[in-house]
A and B are shown apart, each in its own frame.
Chain A
Amino acid sequence: MILVGGIAYRIYEYLGTPAPLKIPTTPAPTTTGGVAFRMFREVVFFESLFKSNLWIWALGWLFHVGLALVLLRHLRYFTEPVNSIIAFIQPFGMYAGFAMAAGLAGLWARRFLVERIRYISTPSDHLMLALLLGIAVTGLLMKFVMHTDIVAVKTFFLGLMVFEINPLPAHPGLYLHLGMVVLLMIVFPVSKLLHAPGVFFSPTRNQVDNPRETRHVAPWAAQLDSKN
């Protein structure tokens, strides 16, 4: 609820804030289709990070792709019957869990080992990495070391989706895993995790490079214009 409501509020805030200046980072596409393609490359491949810093990109992309596959894999706990694509990616999601943990460990190591990065790191940066790594490790432990009753887990979540509480297996790994997930969802709308929706609202990425063809004026700037 906090996750969905909070993110919806942030998106409303971003939409409500005018972007008064035409500031796409050049070279920028001159058509809307081009902008959509650029945004796709940015969101899926982290193009600008790839160009600016290869090794941060490698770790970050490893983690994000792993996370995406793992999230897709987890859909099987929320749907009945399970979609055939979700069923197909199950084994890939398993290995993606290791990729995700490796990427996170690398990203966290930077925050300790690289002097400049250590200097700019805040407690919140460490909290996000600790939570995500904790979630990944407890998840992998439940998969490969100490199994929990996933049939019961699925019953719990299917029930939860229609606001019914079914018993959740008493398993320390599972409680830790779900507890950290809930914590992460709660801090999401007030943290740097907002880079996920934020990237779509970044004026340097989502604007078309056509300042001469179409004059771009924000409402508050237009008021100033009309005063003169």
Chain B
Amino acid sequence: MADETTPVAVAPAPTPAAKAPPAKAPEKAKVVAPAFRDYPTIPALKIDSMVESNPYVAAAAHNEALGFPGTLVDGWEQKAVAKMGELLGKYRSLRVYMDACVHCGACTDTIAVTTPCPASCSPSWSAPAT
């Protein structure tokens, strides 16, 4: 988001630091898709199913090349809260949705994702079967 609170981006000159590999590769999360079922039912909740999911943190060198500090700054919690307040004042959608969500759960009920495409809807651009 380019607004006045974002540090001005300096055109990054290709430096050796910027080309350095990330300091620490994030742990590879094992994503297991549910097995195909004839009747698509919703999988049961699993405790800690996302425990291995981490943010993909950009390397400090990459951040610095863009004009951001490389590591977390002091008081980042307050800064994050202040940013949230700023966004609430800028986007009516965010403010209304934060207030008005009734936790109805309709968004958790999507079940069609496990159904594979029927053969009849194979994309027209696919190579003809030989």
| A residues lining the B interface (CB < 8 Å) | 10, 13-14, 17-21, 23, 49, 52-53, 56, 60, 110, 114-117, 119-122, 125, 192, 194-195, 198-199, 201-204, 218, 220, 224
B105 x A120 contact (CB < 8 A): yes
Surface stretch bound by A, among B28-36, B60-68, B84-92, B116-124? B84-92
Identify the closest chain B residue to A196 (Cβ): B100
B103 x A115 contact (CB < 8 A): no
Q: What residues on B are CB-neighbors of A60 within 8 Å? A: 104
**Complex: how many Å from CA A13 to CA B99?**
11
A117 x B45 contact (CB < 8 A): no
Q: What residues on B are CB-neighbors of A194 within 8 Å? A: 99-100
B90 x A220 contact (CB < 8 A): yes
B90 x A116 contact (CB < 8 A): no
- Given A10-B99, A199-B100, A202-B96: A20 in contact with B90 (beta carbons within 8 A): yes
Q: List 30 A-B contacts (CB under 8 A).
A: A10-B99, A13-B95, A17-B89, A17-B90, A19-B91, A20-B90, A21-B91, A21-B93, A49-B104, A52-B106, A53-B104, A56-B105, A56-B106, A60-B104, A114-B105, A116-B42, A119-B45, A120-B105, A192-B101, A192-B102, A195-B100, A195-B101, A198-B97, A198-B99, A198-B100, A199-B100, A203-B92, A218-B90, A220-B90, A224-B2
A20 x B91 contact (CB < 8 A): yes
B100 x A53 contact (CB < 8 A): no
Identify the closest chain A residue to B88 (Cβ): A17
**Complex: how many Å from CA A18 to CA B94?**
11
Binary interface profile of B, 1-27, with partner A (CB < 8 Å = 1, else 0)? 011000000000000000000000000
Identify the closest chain A residue to B89 (Cβ): A17
Give which listed residue, A10, A19, A110, contacts B93 with CB less than 8 A. A19
**For this complex, into which size category does the number of interface residues on chain B fall?**
20 to 34
A203 x B45 contact (CB < 8 A): no
Identify the closest chain B residue to A190 (Cβ): B99
| B residues lining the A interface (CB < 8 Å) | 2-3, 42, 44-45, 88-93, 95-97, 99-109
Give which listed residue, A19, A49, A195, A199, contacts B92 with CB less than 8 A. A19
B93 x A14 contact (CB < 8 A): no
**Complex: how many Å from CA A27 to CA B64?**
43
Give which listed residue, A14, A21, A56, A199, contacts B104 with CB less than 8 A. A56
Task: Give chain B nearest CB distance to A42 CB in angstroms.
Answer: 13
Q: What residues on B are CB-neighbors of A116 within 8 Å? A: 42, 45, 105, 108-109
Task: Give chain A nearest CB distance to B104 CB in angstroms.
Answer: 5
Q: What residues on B are CB-neighbors of A201 within 8 Å? A: 92, 96
Give which listed residue, A23, A120, A192, contacts B100 with CB less than 8 A. A192
Q: What residues on A are CB-neighbors of B2 within 8 Å? A: 224
A53 x B42 contact (CB < 8 A): no
Q: What residues on A are CB-neighbors of B42 within 8 Å? A: 116
B108 x A117 contact (CB < 8 A): yes
**Complex: how many Å from CA A18 to CA B89?**
8
A14 x B95 contact (CB < 8 A): yes
Identify the closest chain A residue to B110 (Cβ): A52
Task: Give chain B nearest CB distance to A118 CB in angstroms.
Answer: 9
| Residue picked from B93, B96, B106, most chain A C-beta under 10 Å | B96
Identify the closest chain A residue to B108 (Cβ): A116
- Given A17-B95, A117-B108, A198-B96: A125 in contact with B90 (beta carbons within 8 A): no
**Complex: how many Å from CA A122 to CA B104?**
11
